[in-house]
Amino acid sequence: MKKYVTNLEPNSFYHIFNKGINGNKIFFSSQNYSYFLKLLKDKVLSVSGIYAYCFLPNHFHILIKTKSENEIRESFSEKAQIDVDKIISQQFSNVFNSYTQAVNKNYSRTGKLFELPFRRRLITSDDYLIKTILYIHNNPKKHFLTNEIFSYQHSSLPQILNNNQNGKITKEIISLFGSLDNFRLLHQNYDPIK
């Protein structure tokens, strides 16, 4: 079994990540980034909240918190006989499959776009959660795309700072850092290279 492939259990934080096959691009235009985010919201919000994300040309990072088993079962009552972890994973697979089909059609390509299976890490503490948020938002800096992480448009960081994301989730994220000023300061001082 591949590293970082575990069941996605209810009521848990996960760092979801993946890259293009052989490190190839998965986003080819700004519309691709927007469409991928739309698919995530359309298909994944039924099983989890999206806390942070960052999309780069050849890979992505997403921080989610899965919903309770009852909430998921309510949304998928027709799947009463299916394990909840399989329902959660299927929603992510639906995003990746739909996105791949759209890219293949739009760019006259065939075959897989993403490495399979997609990777996930269980977040086991608040400290790990904070480090994951910092890591995700600083990923463009790590890969030398920009030093201006606060304005990188394919990241949730500007959305959180402008309170354009889910208000409840934004409050939860900021409270982890103690304050908005501390949230900003820790992002600014985080060194993604080490």
Give the pLDDT of residue 194: 67
pLDDT tens column, 148-182: 999 999 999 998 998 766 678 889 999 999 999 99
DSSP string, 53-106: EEEETTEEEEEEEEPPHHHHHHHTGGGTTS-HHHHHHHHHHHHHHHHHHHHHHH
Work out whether strand 59-66 and strand 119-123 pair parallel, antiparallel, or are unpaired: unpaired
Give the pLDDT of residue 1: 44
Nearest residue to 165 (alpha-carbon basis) of 133, 131, 119: 133
Mutual angle of helices 30-44 and 84-106, in 10-degree steps: 150
Q: Whole-angstrom Cα distance, residue 32 to residue 26?
A: 8
DSSP string, 108-138: T--S--B-SSPEEEEE-SHHHHHHHHHHHHT
pLDDT tens column, 104-131: 999 999 999 999 889 999 999 999 999 9
DSSP 8-class letter at 68: P
- pTM reported for the whole predicted model: 0.93
**Residue 27 to residues 50, 55, 133, Cα–Cα distance (Å):** 20, 8, 22
- In the numeric block, the tokens 């079962």 are attached to 73
Q: Given pLDDT bands bounded at 50, 70 and 90, which one contains residue 6?
A: confident
Please tell me whether residue 101 adopts helix, strand or coil conformation: helix
Phi, psi of 76 (to 5 degrees): -130, 50
- In the numeric block, the tokens 């698919």 are attached to 39
